[in-house]
Amino acid sequence: MRLAFSSEDEAFRAEVRAFLVAELPPEIARREAMGFHNKRATVHPWQQKLHARGWAAPNWPAEFGGTGWSSIQRYIFELECGLANAPEYSLIAMSMAGPVLCRFGSSALRHEFLEPMLRGDYWFCQGFSEPQAGSDLASLRTRAVRDGDDYVITGQKIWTTDAHMADYMICLARTDTEVKPQAGLSMIIMPMDAPGVTVRPIDTIDGDAHVNEVFIEDVRVPAHYLIGDPNSGWAQAKFLLGHERTHNAYLGMLRRYLSRIPQLIDGETGRGLPELEAKEYRRRHARLAIDVDALEWSVLRVLAGTEGPALGAAASAISIRGAAYLLRAADLEMAILGPQVVPRFAPGDMGVLAGGAPPAAAGRTTQYLYWWAATIFGGSDEIQRNIIWSTMFR
């Protein structure tokens, strides 16, 4: 087995690197490296630069404005963006809703949505999960009922990432109650400013509010906002989650951690970190680097593979590993920085947080806490293990 990129792929990598050096605004890269959750306005200039270069949508077919890259080129692009601290622009729009519209959307929907999405004018959220329907997604209760030229949607979504700054939701709703649960679902584009939509933020342990509850009360949506045929939502949802799962190796982010951890150890050694301790951190870094190499090879094998049940199981295994390694990387950074990452009370005033951690260290705490969510979203580790079992061993 030959585990090296072709000379064409290496040339492509050099082209991507040169573009990132020339075009990625340093302030955006600095915020991303520190671990801020991206706000829409902050990252919009970056999406415009990508659009100007024709690189806004690596995951779309070329005929709809995508790059037409091979899977290896897409992978290289993701890796280099990760290393350069380039943020993702509306992951849901560019990597989920966009590919779904390209594959299943009517020509009217493609015409209305794809070009503004490429420009970065539309931000999307994904309305799948509900209070009683997460892992068991097919049991969702949000209803969409046809009424003349509209669908009327009623229900509740939860954990909706970015709903507070999205223009549209790709909403999974029940359009037929008489058939088995999977067969009665449809995917509909729902404007977030429509009367009857209420977004309530959920505070998360990482100190941010990037997920939300969304209450949907008799919301009227034009019937042509339905994607594909009525009751075909389950196939579209599976297609969309497939995109999420391959993304969940997080190799760009892992390579970013691996490249900066040695500098972090050196910096702390300069500030008095005992050499014996530094040695232990270097050992943990080396161990993680080996595991990430192995993960990368698995991803490349999946990218080179053809469709089949083993591929689905491999994507699930990769998702489990990706989340676990992110947590290891973030945990290692926290250990190296030690007490710097802990927020402290001001002396003499136990009611007021002194800030304690410098912003860079605080960002690391935030990231560490956030990565626990990677073991849940897009299908929890347990659900991924169920998939591996049912496709490979049953």
Ligand X SMILES: Cc1cc2nc3c(=O)[nH]c(=O)nc-3n(C[C@H](O)[C@H](O)[C@H](O)COP(=O)(O)OP(=O)(O)OC[C@H]3O[C@@H](n4cnc5c(N)ncnc54)[C@H](O)[C@@H]3O)c2cc1C
Catalytic residues: 244
250 interacts with ligand X by CB under 6 A = no
CA–CA separation, 63 and 138 (whole Å) = 32
Site for ligand X in 164-223 (CB under 6 A): 211
Q: How far is the CB of 212 from ligand X (least distance, A)?
A: 9
Q: How far is the CB of 331 from ligand X (least distance, A)?
A: 18
DSSP string, 63-114: GGT-----HHHHHHHHHHHHHTTPPPS-HIIIIIIHHHHHHH--HHHHHHHH
Q: Which long-range contacts (CB under 8 A, 24 or more apart) does 382-386 make?
A: 382/135, 383/135, 384/316, 384/317, 384/319, 384/320, 385/316, 385/320
Q: How far is the CB of 136 from ligand X (least distance, A)?
A: 6
Q: Given the rule CB under 6 A, which of 14-22, 74-82, 103-111, 369-377 is the region that contacts ligand X?
A: 369-377
Q: Given the rule CB under 6 A, which of 4-12, 14-22, 153-161, 189-197 is the region that contacts ligand X?
A: 153-161
List residues bridging with 353 in a β-sheet: 345
Phi, psi of 272 (to 5 degrees): 110, 10
Q: How many CB atoms lie within 10 A of CB 148?
A: 8
Residue 206 or 296 with smaller CB distance to ligand X: 206
386 interacts with ligand X by CB under 6 A = yes
Q: Given the rule CB under 6 A, which of 55-63, 124-132, 300-308, 326-334 is the region that contacts ligand X?
A: 124-132
CA end-to-end distance (rounded Å), the chain:
30
Give burial (CB, 10 Å; 0-12/13-18/19+) of 69: middle
Applying CB under 6 A, among 27, 266, 293, 382 the residue interacting with ligand X is 382
CA–CA separation, 201 and 125 (whole Å) = 14
Q: Which residue has the tokens 């389950």?
A: 234
Residue 13 or 143 with smaller CB distance to ligand X: 143
Applying CB under 6 A, among 12, 19, 89, 128 the residue interacting with ligand X is 128
Q: Given the rule CB under 6 A, which of 109-117, 119-127, 239-247, 265-273 is the region that contacts ligand X?
A: 119-127
Total residues contacting ligand X by CB under 6 A comes to 19
Q: How far is the CB of 79 from ligand X (least distance, A)?
A: 23
64 interacts with ligand X by CB under 6 A = no
Strand blocks (E) in the chain: 124-127, 143-147, 150-158, 168-174, 185-191, 197-202, 211-222, 226-227, 345-346, 349-353
Q: How far is the CB of 99 from ligand X (least distance, A)?
A: 16
Applying CB under 6 A, among 159, 168, 257, 281 the residue interacting with ligand X is 159
Applying CB under 6 A, among 65, 134, 228, 363 the residue interacting with ligand X is 134
Q: Which residues contact 168 (CB under 8 A, 6 or more apart)?
A: 97, 113, 122, 123, 124, 125, 189, 190, 191, 192
Residue 135 or 259 with smaller CB distance to ligand X: 135
Q: Given the rule CB under 6 A, which of 22-30, 308-316, 361-369, 371-379 is the region that contacts ligand X?
A: 371-379
**Rule CB under 6 A: which residues touch ligand X?**
125-129, 134-135, 159-161, 211, 373, 376-377, 379-380, 382-383, 386
